[in-house]
Amino acid sequence: MNEAPMGNARFFARSGPKTLADIAIAASAMAPDIVRMFTGVAPLHSAGPDDVSFFESARYADALDQTMAGAVIVHPRMRERVPSHAIPIVTTSAYEGWARVAALFHPAPPPSPGIHPTALVDPDARIDPSAEIGAFAVIEARAEIGAGCRIGAFASIGAGVAMGRDCRIGTHASVSHALLGARVYIYPGARIGQEGFSFATTKAGFLSIPQLGRVIVGDDVEVGANSTIDRGSSRDTVVGAGTRIDNLVQIGHNVQVGRCCVIVAQAGIAGSTILEDFVQVGGQAAITGHVRVGQGSQIGGQAGVISDVAAGSILMGTPAQPRKEFYRQVITLKRMARRPAGANDQ
C-alpha cells in the first residue's frame, strides 16, 4: 500500500496555497526573495516539488540528499546540504519553524458556535455565544464557558467550573472543581478534578477524607487522553502555564506542577509533590508524595523518585540516582555477568 499523503483530506482541512514569503514569516526564517507557491507540508522522503519539508538531524542526511521537496526548513549550518532544486528556508529553530508552517497549512478547525440540541445545559451556566457545545455534552450550574471554546460530544463540565477563551474539551472528558486558563486542551477521556486518593485508617476500616481543594490549570496547558488530575484536599492542585501532560498520566491531590513541565505517558506523581518549572518526567516514572523536584530536572523513564531532587539534576533508575552513577552500576554489572564462572575463585 502506498503511503498516504500527510494531512489527508478525509481528516484534515488544508489552507493554501501559500507563498514562500508567507511560509518564511510563519517560520521566523530567511528565504530567497522569489515568488513561489506551495500547497502543503510533507516529510523529506515523500515530499514533492510543491511541498515544504524540514531537516534537523544528521541521521536523515540521506533523505535530505534524495528529497524532491520544493523547499526545506533547515538550520544555517545545514544550508549547504539542501539539494539545488530545493529552496532553503533558514532558521536557527528548524523544528519550531516546521511546527508553525504545518499549522499554517493545517490550522485547527474553528468552533461552530452554538449548542447541540442533545446537549444538557443548566439554565445557570454561562456560555459565550461563540462557544461550541457538542452532542450529549453536560454543562452543570454556574459553569462558565469562555469565548471560542469547544466542548466535545459526551463531555461533562461540572458545577462552577470556569474556563478561559479558546479551550478545547475532548469527547467523553470530564472536568469538575476546576478553573482553566485560556487555550487549555483537555484530550478525550481525561478526568480533571475528581476526588484524590486520601483516607484515614481506623479499626473499623478506611474513612475517606473530604477533598476540598480545586484544580487550577494555567494558560496553554495540554492534558493527554485518559490522564487524571485529582483536585486538592487541603490546598489546590496546580498545573502551571505551558505544561504538556501526555496520555495516561496520574497526578495526585495537592500536586504543584510548575511552568512548561513535560510529563510523559504512564508517569505517576503522588500527592503534595512539587515540580518546579521546566521539569521533565519520563514515561512510567514514579514520584513519591511530599517531595520537591528542582527546576529544570530530568527524571528518566521508569525511574523511581523517593526524595527531594536538586535543581538541574538528571536521574535514572529505582531508586532514582544521578545518571552517571546509574550507568556506572549498569556497566559494572555487565562486566561481572561476562566473567567466566569461578574466575575469582582462589
The residue type of 280 is: Q
Three cell numbers written together for 295? 527546576
On average, the pLDDT of the chain sits at 94
**Residue 325 or residue 279, greater confidence:** 279
Query: 189 and 309 in one domain?
Result: yes
Query: 51 and 177 in one domain?
Result: no
Q: Is residue 346 part of a domain?
A: no
Where does the pLDDT of residue 1 fall: very low under 50, low under 70, confident under 90, or very high at 90 and above? Answer: very low
95-99, 130-134, 309-313, 336-340: range with lowest mean pLDDT: 336-340
CATH of the domain at 94: 3.40.1390.10
Is the predicted pLDDT of residue 341 greater than 70, yes or no?
no
Residues taking part in catalysis: 253
Query: 194 and 87 in one domain?
Result: no
The beta-carbon contacts of 203-210 under 8 Å, at least 24 apart in sequence, are 209/233
pLDDT of residue 295: 98
Residues facing 188 on adjacent strands? none
Residue 122, SS3?
coil
DSSP annotation of 321 reads E
Q: Is residue 117 part of a domain?
A: no
Query: 179 and 91 in one domain?
Result: no
Indicate the number of domains in the chain: 2
Q: Residue 261: is it exposed, middle or buried by C-beta count within 10 angstroms (0-12/13-18/19+)?
A: buried
pLDDT digits (tens, 9 = 90+) for 197-252: 999 999 999 999 999 999 999 999 999 999 999 999 989 999 999 999 999 999 99
pLDDT digits (tens, 9 = 90+) for 138-192: 999 999 999 999 999 999 999 999 999 999 999 999 999 999 999 999 999 999 9
pLDDT of residue 345: 53
Boundary of a domain, candidates 48, 81, 105: 105
CATH of the domain at 212: 2.160.10.10
Q: Is residue 249 part of a domain?
A: yes
Q: Is residue 34 part of a domain?
A: yes
Residue 33 lies in domain: 18-105
Q: Is residue 94 part of a domain?
A: yes
